[in-house]
């Protein structure tokens, strides 16, 4: 009869010492009771339901309070006011690309298709149209969260910790989502289109995914930086969907102004974009993109006063070259990493790696925008969801993920810093004026680091899972595998 001896089991987060008592068989040996802290990486923490219930109640309360505020808002001099005025002009047969009394601060600079898509709201007063748009923004936020959960957790049913992950990500990005809603911005819809493209590509609906990406480009030009990813993955059906979707968006104004009128309107749009790109947009503290950080360097401005218009014009001239170079580096690394790892990763690991690519591309898309206001940072929902899952799974470096999520949430207290003015340039003020830029860079860097740590940890766990040692030197079933099988049987 074989004797069963329990031995010491070492794990990265501690050591579980079992007794040296010898049991006559594996069946009669007691199952080891393992504290949560010593569970293998990737196991979801047993979450308490009470704090999640309170967090959901707080989220619903926030929705109620913001709804009351939105009912009282006049929706004038906001981004939504630009959309509404553009919809009014196209409903009267006019071009939306013209300056009015509000000047270039509140002019419509978006693609023509979006103005016509807002056509139904043009028949309403701007206040009621803004309230309807606010409800749409809440629904689009819920859609972004749902799509991001599908990307990070895979197909349903999801694990019990999915609610905790969603709550952590929503609260972490609450400042950027709130900024988007109070301005009535279209960034949430653009993020929804980008996440829809990623999920369609993951499910094999490549043509539909390309059309989703085209819809995102019809709302803003920023998603165009994602198109090289289709070439890297040789997604020809997705590229065909992008072309067809782009053609449909181009032809949206045709029923009102005809084909020649649509061509002329797009030409007017490109000219209007160039004419209304004021210098103050580049360096003012509200611009949290790479352009804003570079334009606030000592030889250019201090965020309030422009020191050299010639240097600023030179930066604006070569900024596309800088973005092209950085994009080439990012896409080159993605291509190299994909080719290097595709044969060594499992299907689940490849999905996690693709999430990393998408998170980095969304951050790059946001920061590369010449006018990246804080409401454009809604794309952080996916990387924050990845960090939240990493934290809830207690994988190596989960404390860093927690710290970064807290830092993202602190966007609520950073925004007054952008209102501080100074006559002289200083390094400290330069860093503080780009706080959201540095936060996004940190989020991307930590996502890249924890993704690599997760792959290393999974490979180590698979190769070094401790086994039960029998008296004759044989090996029985590994402890944690036996526990997982027992849990499946009990379920």
Verify that 28 and 57 share a domain, yes or no. no
Verify that 27 and 120 share a domain, yes or no. no
Alpha helices in 73-186 (DSSP H): 79-91, 112-117, 126-153, 162-172, 174-183
pLDDT over 50 (residue 178) = yes
Q: Is residue 466 a contact partner of residue 10, using CB atoms and an 8 Å limit?
A: yes
Number of domains within the chain? 2
C-alpha distance from residue 299 to each of 151, 302, 320, 419, 432 (Å): 43, 9, 20, 21, 18
C-alpha dihedral sign at 7, 12, 16, 17: positive
Distance, in Å, from the CA atom of 210 to the CA atom of 390, rounded to the nearest integer, reads: 30
Domain range holding 12?
Answer: 4-40+466-490
pLDDT band for position 46 (cuts 50, 70, 90): very low
Verify that 91 and 33 share a domain, yes or no. no
Verify that 85 and 195 share a domain, yes or no. yes
pLDDT band for position 55 (cuts 50, 70, 90): confident
Please state the rounded mean pLDDT for residues 219-224.
92
pLDDT band for position 31 (cuts 50, 70, 90): very low
pLDDT over 60 (residue 417) = yes
The answer for residues whose C-beta is within 8 angstroms of residue 102's C-beta and 6 or more apart is 77
DSSP state, residue 30: P
pLDDT over 80 (residue 112) = yes
User: Within 10 Å of residue 54's Cβ, how many Cβ atoms?
Assistant: 11
DSSP state, residue 44: P
- Phi (first) and psi of residue 9, to 5 degrees: -120, 125
pLDDT of 412 reads 83
Of these ranges, 57-66, 79-88, 479-488, the one predicted with the greatest mean pLDDT is 79-88
Please state the rounded mean pLDDT for residues 438-451.
94
pLDDT band for position 407 (cuts 50, 70, 90): very high
**Beta-bridge mates of residue 22:** 5
22's enclosing H/E stretch is strand 22-23
Please state the rounded mean pLDDT for residues 26-51.
46
pLDDT over 70 (residue 491) = no
Distance, in Å, from the CA atom of 209 to the CA atom of 58, rounded to the nearest integer, reads: 34
ω into 157 cis (within 30 of 0): yes
pLDDT of 36 reads 35
Please state the rounded mean pLDDT for residues 24-46.
44
pLDDT of 347 reads 78
Distance, in Å, from the CA atom of 243 to the CA atom of 11, rounded to the nearest integer, reads: 52
Which one is predicted more confidently, 28 or 71? 71
Verify that 27 and 54 share a domain, yes or no. no
Verify that 32 and 86 share a domain, yes or no. no
pLDDT over 50 (residue 397) = yes
Verify that 24 and 108 share a domain, yes or no. no
Which range has the worst mean pLDDT, 37-41, 123-127, 141-145, 461-465?
37-41
Verify that 431 and 471 share a domain, yes or no. no
Verify that 19 and 89 share a domain, yes or no. no
Distance, in Å, from the CA atom of 303 to the CA atom of 75, rounded to the nearest integer, reads: 27
pLDDT band for position 459 (cuts 50, 70, 90): low
C-alpha dihedral sign at 163, 164, 170, 173: negative
Q: Is residue 233 a contact partner of residue 198, using CB atoms and an 8 Å limit?
A: no
> Within 13 Å and on the Cβ side, how many CA atoms surround 57?
6
Q: Is residue 114 a contact partner of residue 215, using CB atoms and an 8 Å limit?
A: no
Please state the rounded mean pLDDT for residues 460-469.
44
Which one is predicted more confidently, 460 or 427? 427
Structure tokens at 483: 């526990």
Verify that 170 and 56 share a domain, yes or no. yes
What is the share, in percent, of the chain residues with pLDDT greater than 70? 78
Which one is predicted more confidently, 6 or 369? 369
> Within 13 Å and on the Cβ side, how many CA atoms surround 416?
3
Verify that 54 and 35 share a domain, yes or no. no
Verify that 107 and 17 share a domain, yes or no. no
pLDDT of 13 reads 38
pLDDT band for position 237 (cuts 50, 70, 90): very high
Per residue in 311-354, pLDDT (tens digit) is: 999 999 999 999 999 999 999 999 999 888 877 877 788 888 99
Distance, in Å, from the CA atom of 357 to the CA atom of 198, rounded to the nearest integer, reads: 10
**Beta-bridge mates of residue 5:** 22, 469
């Amino acid at each position: 009869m074989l004797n069963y001896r329990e031995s010491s089991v070492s794990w990265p987060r501690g050591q579980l010492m079992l007794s040296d008592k010898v049991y006559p068989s594996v069946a009669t040996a007691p199952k080891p009771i393992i504290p949560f802290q010593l569970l293998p990486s990737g196991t979801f923490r047993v979450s308490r339901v009470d704090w999640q219930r309170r967090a959901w109640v707080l989220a619903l309360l926030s929705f109620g309070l913001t709804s009351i505020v939105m009912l009282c808002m006049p929706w004038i001099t906001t981004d939504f006011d630009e959309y509404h005025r553009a919809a009014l002009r196209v409903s009267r047969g006019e071009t939306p690309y013209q300056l009015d009394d509000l000047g270039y601060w509140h002019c419509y600079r978006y693609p023509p298709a979006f103005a016509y898509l807002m056509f139904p709201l043009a028949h309403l007063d701007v206040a009621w149209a803004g309230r309807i748009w606010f409800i749409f923004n809440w629904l689009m936020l819920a859609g972004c969260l749902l799509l991001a959960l599908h990307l990070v957790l895979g197909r349903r049913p999801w694990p019990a910790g999915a609610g905790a992950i969603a709550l952590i990500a929503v609260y972490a990005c609450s400042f950027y989502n709130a900024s988007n809603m109070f301005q009535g911005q279209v960034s949430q819809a653009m993020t929804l289109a980008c996440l829809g493209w990623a999920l369609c590509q993951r499910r094999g609906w490549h043509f539909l995914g390309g059309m989703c990406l085209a819809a995102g480009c019809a709302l803003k030009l920023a998603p165009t930086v994602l198109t090289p990813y289709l070439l890297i993955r040789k997604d020809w059906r997705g590229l065909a969907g992008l072309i067809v979707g782009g053609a449909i968006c181009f032809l949206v104004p045709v029923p009102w102004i005809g084909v020649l009128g649509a061509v002329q309107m797009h030409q007017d749009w490109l000219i209007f974009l160039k004419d209304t790109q004021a210098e103050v947009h580049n360096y003012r503290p509200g611009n949290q993109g790479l352009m804003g950080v570079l334009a606030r360097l000592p030889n250019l401005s201090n965020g309030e006063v422009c020191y050299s218009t010639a240097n600023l014009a030179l930066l604006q001239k070569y900024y596309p070259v800088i973005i092209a170079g950085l994009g080439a580096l990012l896409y080159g690394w993605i291509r190299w990493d994909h080719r290097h790892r595709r044969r060594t990763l499992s299907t689940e690991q490849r999905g996690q790696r693709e999430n990393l690519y998408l998170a980095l591309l969304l951050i790059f898309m946001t920061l590369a925008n010449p006018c990246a206001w804080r409401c454009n940072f809604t794309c952080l929902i996916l990387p924050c969801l990845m960090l939240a899952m990493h934290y809830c799974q207690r994988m190596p470096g989960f404390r860093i993920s927690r710290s970064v999520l807290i830092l993202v949430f602190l966007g609520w207290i950073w925004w007054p810093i952008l209102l501080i003015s100074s006559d002289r340039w200083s390094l400290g003020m330069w860093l503080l004026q780009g706080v959201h830029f540095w936060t996004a860079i940190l989020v991307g860097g930590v996502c890249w680091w924890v993704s690599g740590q997760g792959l290393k940890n999974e490979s180590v766990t698979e190769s070094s899972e401790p086994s039960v040692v029998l008296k004759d030197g044989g090996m029985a079933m590994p402890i944690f595998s036996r526990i997982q099988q027992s849990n499946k049987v009990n379920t």
